[in-house]
Amino acid sequence: MGGPLAARKDREGDLFAQVGAFLSAQGLSPEPAHYSFAFDVITNPAGAIAKAVDRLTDGGFRLSRADIEKLGGNVVIGGSMPPPARPARTPPSPVEDQAIKLVEETQAQVAGFATMMRAMEDETRGFGRDLAQSAAAIERTSPVQATTAGLDEIARITGSMLSRIRDAEVRLAQATHEANALRAKLAEANDTARRDALTGMPNRRAFDEAFGARRERDGPFCLAVCDIDRFKRINDAHGHQVGDRVLSAVGQTLTDECEGHLVVRHGGEEFAVLLHGIDLIDAAAHLDGVRGVIAGKRFRLRESDEPLGQVTLSIGVTAVQCGETVTTAFDRADRLLYTAKADGRDRVCAA
């Protein structure tokens, strides 16, 4: 039967489900303190706490203990899972996987080519050995016999030599052709494995390699992580094709504005920049200028010319320390990016 009591139970059941979903999303156990915080957020969506939670969790972030306590909540020790600083990284794309496989296949072909060349070397040594044995046999014959037999043996050796030379020339020409083809194929595969399929920009693999090779060049170096603000809203409102075009446009702008530095698409809506020969203060100032250029663009839908709305970037940038690994430097820049997001987005945070 229906009625006010049934409706009330339905509302309570829905509220309980929302609170449970919130606790699960934030990695919080159903402790009374956690439940109370979640209840305040769910039951007052227009309140300051709920709005702060929406801002802090936009883009897939999970609240940290410091976030919850800053908003007046209480985290029970042992009652929550440690929150990740950032969402999981985007795995390599199928195109990158295919390129890596192509590199492996090409390397196997190179190994086969090396085997062919070793076989040719073995045959050449065999030919030299036969020639030496024939010459020794001629020397052991009498002068009269040597004249006739020697001429016949020389003719046989010469014919064999010419035949082997022709065979070696054919095989060498074939091997040279294959080597050139393999070289071109390997260069293409290596480039593909280090390039993002959507934007055509260098990818995370290229970034990691460039970071590892930085010791060959004089410093200083800075590392920046850039993320498009509220990118999910663009995909949800206009579809992934429009989102892809925005990614490509932002990536191209970053590349143009950071000419001389390495700009890569690191995954999802995230870009990374390795700035060489510039200190942290200048790097932050330069990147703030790039942020302003992108914020000032007026993106429109190609199909209808309808304004897409402002697209902004949040950026975290840090100075790379001597001997520091890419993981350590990137994680520090990533945390600074998170701070830029938490402080309101569309800004650069440097440290």
Residues involved in catalysis: 269
Take residue 344 and report the two structure tokens written for it: 């309101």
Which residue from 179, 199, 178, 183 is spatially nearest to 96, judged by alpha carbons?
199
Q: How far is CA 333 from CA 58, 240, 253, in A?
A: 19, 27, 21
Q: Are 231 and 269 in contact (CB under 8 A)?
A: yes
CA dihedral 124, 129, 134, 139 (to 10 degrees): 130
Asked if residue 81 lies in contact with residue 27, where contact means CB atoms within 8 angstroms, the answer is: yes
Alpha-carbon distance of 262 to 160, in angstroms, equals 59
Do 312 and 345 form a contact (C-beta atoms < 8 A)?
yes
Alpha-helical regions (H) of the chain: 4-25, 32-43, 48-57, 65-70, 94-140, 143-193, 204-212, 231-238, 240-257, 280-296, 326-342
Residues 310, 294: Cα–Cα separation, whole Å: 9
- Rounded to whole angstroms, the Cα distance separating 80 from 82 reads 6
Q: How many CB atoms lie within 10 A of CB 125?
A: 10
Burial class of residue 305, CB neighbours in 10 A (0-12, 13-18, 19+): exposed
